[in-house]
Every structure is written in C-alpha cells, then in structure tokens.
Amino acid sequence: MCPMSVSEGPNMNTSDAPTSAFRRPGALCALLLALIFSAGSPGGAQGAGPDLLVFAAASLKTVLDDVNAHWQANAGKRAVISYASSAALAKQIEQGAPADIFISADEDWMDYLAERKLIRPETRSDLVGNRLVLIAPKGADLHVDIIPGFPLPSLVGHGRLAMANTDAVPAGKYGRAALESLGVWDSVKDRIAQAENVRAALLLVSRGEAPLGIVYKSDAVSEPAVVTVGSFPESTHPRIIYPVAVVAGSTKPDAAAAFIDLLRSPEARSIFEKQGFTILE
C-alpha cells in the first residue's frame, strides 16, 4: 500500500536516496497524489477539492493545522498539508509531486529546489525561526547545562539519543552540528536512534522508548508527554530558519500567495509564538 495518505495532514514515509522514479514507492505516491488532488482542481466539481497543496516540514504540523483551520473558517478555503522531513518533501517535488507551496526547516533543501528551478525565486522568503532543545519523558527529574564537554553519554545511560536523521533532515543536521561544536558527538554517535523526521524523534521520547532526544523548541511545546531539560546555545549550530516559497509548477499561484500572506498575519504570528517559534524581524 502507498505509504502516503491524503488528508488534512498526510504523512510521507520516503527515502532520501534518489532512485528510479518507477522503482521508488515515494514517486508512485506522488503520482497518485497528483491524480487525487486534480479531482478538486478546476474541471472537478465546484468546491469539491482543496484550494492548495502545501508541503511542510514535520515540525510545523501543530501551527499549520491551526492556521489552515483559521483559513477555512474565515476565508472558506482549505489546504491539504503534507508533513514529512524537508529532505523527503524536496525529493518528492523534484519527482513531480503537485505541491503549490514548500516550507522547509532549513535553507539547504530550499536551495536544492532553487538550483533546479523548482521554486519561484521571487516568492521565497524566511518565515520563522526556532531553537534546539534537549528533551526527556515527562516526569524526568533532570536539568542539563549544555556546555562544552557536558556528560551526554552518562545522561543517555544504556538507552539511545533520539534525533532526526543526522545526514539529511534539518533537525538532525542542526543537532549533530551542535554536538560536534560542544565536543560530544564522537562519544554518542554510535548511540543515536535516528528517526525519519523530528516528530518521529519526539515520539520516541514521548513514549519512553528513548531517555533523551534533540528536537526543536516548538516540538517540545507541542507534546505534553515530554519536558525540556536543556537548551542548546544558538552559537553551537547554524541559525534555524524556515524558508517558504511557491513551487514553480503550481497552478494556483494566487491562492498560494494568499496563504503565505496569512502565514505572516498577526493571527498566524501569535500561533507561531505560542508554539515556540521565533518571529523574524
């Protein structure tokens, strides 16, 4: 069965390694999504389908679900939002997935699409920022001073440190950069529970399957089953930026522009701030 569902917030379980489009399940899912989504496009029944298809980093789910509900309640419009790692989403767009908007959790994957002329460069901008934190399951009696050489291996104990994929997923790359900067990466690199995206890493900790995890502040705010036990100094990793852009192949650029305007509205800014994101000035 195709691993990608089509709903208000479908998940996309895809590999980051490029392979033949005919042999990759993710590429087939993109094709199926295109066929399903087209049923609501002009030519389908009036109002039968969504107004937009948004591909967004998994860490944005809580906020964008709220913004989407606001858009539907106040403008009578609705987006289907597909959440996954920025890497997986960028590769899906490269293979022809019919997204209208892409919101990445770092600049690298937006640059990846820009270099391939798969976004409209004049629509690209930086939306919000985030912070990197260390989390533990709820009830953990722990506070960690995250400084150079801090005793991360002993804190992990016999368990594993949950992180998003450290080679491809933005949260994982930021986390690895921070641990390298602090001089502790080599001591834990063989004890990482690597997840397909940051929300999957969050889930490992919330279920008690990992004693510690590295996620965004916004993820920790969204999950009552975890607690933040330390914050990484921003100087230890590249600045966390979420760029947004209209996809080059979008057939609904006006609706896409309206949705991006909504993301910058005072109402959306309030939602972003409440969920732990940083508003960029």
Q: What is the pLDDT of residues 164-216, one digit of tens each?
A: 999 999 999 999 999 999 999 999 999 999 999 999 999 999 999 999 999 99
Q: Which amino acid is at 123?
A: T
pLDDT at 50: 81
pLDDT in tens, 13-41: 333 333 333 233 444 454 455 444 444 43
Confidence of residue 149 (pLDDT cuts 50, 70, 90): very high
CA angle 40, 3, 51 (to 5 degrees): 20
On the question of pLDDT at 55 being above 80, the answer is: yes
- Of the two residues 8 and 213, the one the predictor is more confident about is 213
Give percent of the chain with pLDDT exceeding 70. 83
Query: Mean pLDDT over residues 60-70, rounded?
Result: 96
List the structure tokens of 180: 């390298």
Distance CA 120, CA 100 (A): 10
Average pLDDT rounded to a whole number, residues 95-108? 97
| pLDDT above 60 for 98 | yes
Q: What pLDDT band is residue 3 in, cutting at 50, 70 and 90?
A: very low
Residue (of 27, 119, 23, 201) closest to 12 by Cα position: 27
Confidence of residue 281 (pLDDT cuts 50, 70, 90): confident
pLDDT at position 8 over 90: no
DSSP state of 11: B
Q: Are 129 and 277 contacting, i.e. CB atoms less than 8 angstroms apart?
A: yes
| Per-residue pLDDT at 40 | 40
- The identity of residue 141, as a single letter, is D
132-145 pLDDT, tens digit per residue, is 999 999 999 999 99
Quick one: angle between helices 198-206 and 170-181, nearest 10?
A: 70
Distance, in Å, from the CA atom of 42 to the CA atom of 243, rounded to the nearest integer, reads 29
Whether 51 and 163 have beta carbons less than 8 Å apart is answered as: no
